[in-house]
Amino acid sequence: MQGRDQASGKGLRQHEHWATVIKERSVLVLGSVTAVGIALVALGWSIQGSSYLPGLLMQLGTSMMLLVPLALLGLMLEDRIRHTEEELRTTAARLETLTAVTRERLAAGRQQRDRLYETAKRAPQQHLLRALIEDAMEIGAIDPLGARVQVPGTSMRLRFRRQDSSIQVQVEELDGSPLAHLAWDEGETPETFTQRLAGQLKAINRYPGDADYDPATILRRLLETVHLGVRARTGEHSDDVGHLIEVPNEHWVVSSEGLYSLQHHYHISTHSLISSHDDWPRHMRTMAWVDTAAFEEAYHLARRLLGHQ
């Protein structure tokens, strides 16, 4: 934004500079034309003598008749130019003020959002998570269907999205096929909700066991996923990652728009992933910066998930 402010101020100064140059050149041209006219009148007088006077007076009268409207028009144009310059200065000043205010508000908004995330990490209460998910969905940071995280020790995913005063949670297969559904209601503690979730997993015979079932990890990964999507959407991250769905590892992101690298500026569109015959794993193995195992994990997940939607 500061660069745009400087560009705006520079443009205004250039406009004023060229206006001054044009005005100075106009005065010079008018002076030169007047001098040439006087010289021509003197030359005609010297050639024709007193007989030249009637024609000269007629030409002078005609010129004066034309000069007055032109002079008035010039004054009007000059007044409009001056008025336009004043408006430009006023507009530039207002834009500078508005831009400064906008920067301050954006900075305050980022600080408030970061404080909410830090608070939610320490105490992942339902109302905090719901507010953060709602914020992310409103700005298009996560997929409208919600953000997904893996259930530790299994291939299952949990998809979280806000609905009214609750957080809707869908238990899914890797490809997004639904297995179960439950709601985290307003006022319900994280402990109560995660106990109900464990009961739901047991009911569908997919509970990973007490040693692997880690509710704290699930909620922490959810917060990290949503926060990454928001930072990418608001420009705090180096690249936008579209409508984020899942972060399978530290190298790649799966979004509605395809695969995005978190290490380099690299995007593979959804169409290229599921509709083309490109051998992406083979192609990516030729790139030195690619972690092959991480890419193949994200690639196979994205093909199954995005191809199923």
The predicted-structure confidence for 42-56, as pLDDT tens digits, reads as follows: 665 566 666 656 665
Residue with tokens 């007088």: 45
End-of-domain residue from the set 59, 91, 122? 122
Give the CATH number, domain containing residue 196.
3.30.67
**183-190: Cβ within 8 A, 24+ apart:** 184/126, 184/129, 185/126, 186/126, 186/127, 186/130, 187/126, 188/126, 189/125, 189/126, 190/124, 190/125, 190/126, 190/215, 190/219
- pLDDT class of 244 with cuts at 50, 70, 90: very high
Here the tokens at position 304 are 């199954």
- Statement: residue 19 has pLDDT above 50: yes
Q: Which residues pair with 148 in a beta bridge?
A: 159
User: What are the residues whose beta carbons fall under 8 Å from the beta carbon of 180, sequence distance 6 or more?
Assistant: 170, 171, 200, 201, 203, 204
Range of the domain at 184: 125-222
| pLDDT above 60 (res 6) | no
114 and 154 both lie in a single domain: no
Calculate the CA 137 to chain-centre distance: 15
Whether 93 and 135 share a structural domain: no
265 and 210 both lie in a single domain? no
Tokens of 293: 């195992």
- pLDDT exceeds 90 at position 110: no
**What's the whole-model pTM score?**
0.66
What's the count of helices (H) and strands (E) in the chain, helices before strands?
Answer: 8, 8
Residue 177 lies in a domain: yes
In a domain, 281, yes or no: yes
In the block, residue with structure tokens 């106990």:
195
* Type of residue numbered 213: Y
- Is residue 79 located within the same domain as residue 93? yes
Categorize the per-residue pLDDT at 296 as very low, low, confident or very high, splitting at 50, 70 and 90: very high
Cα–Cα distances in Å, from 99 out to 124, 172, 222, 230, 233? 35, 45, 34, 22, 20
Measured between alpha carbons, how far is 80 from 68 in angstroms, rounded to an integer? 18
Co-location of 27 and 115 in the same domain: yes
Whether 287 and 258 map to the same domain: the answer is: yes
Mean pLDDT is lowest, of 125-134, 158-167, 300-309, for 300-309
- Asked, for residue 182, whether it belongs to a domain, the answer is yes
The model's confidence at residue 277, banded by pLDDT at 50, 70 and 90, is confident
195 found inside a domain: yes
Is 82 a residue whose pLDDT tops 50?
yes
Q: End of a domain among 122, 146, 163? A: 122
pLDDT score, position 259: 96
> At 5, is the pLDDT very low, low, confident or very high (cuts 50, 70, 90)?
very low
Please say which residue of 205, 222, 239 terminates a domain: 222
pLDDT over threshold 90, residue 175: yes
Of 111 and 246, the structure prediction assigns the larger pLDDT to: 246
Dmax (CA) of the chain? 122
pLDDT at 245 > cutoff 60 = yes
Residues 118 and 3 in one domain: yes
| 115 located within any domain | yes
Q: What is the pLDDT of residue 42?
A: 63
Mean pLDDT for the chain? 82
Average pLDDT on 24-50 reads: 63
Q: How many domains does the chain have?
A: 3
Tell me what pLDDT residue 235 has: 83
Residue range 228-241: average pLDDT? 86
Q: 212 and 266, same structural domain?
A: no
Looking at the domain assignment, is residue 193 inside a domain?
yes
Is residue 58 in a domain? no
Distance of CA 277 to CAs 258, 268, 281, 291, Å? 15, 13, 12, 22
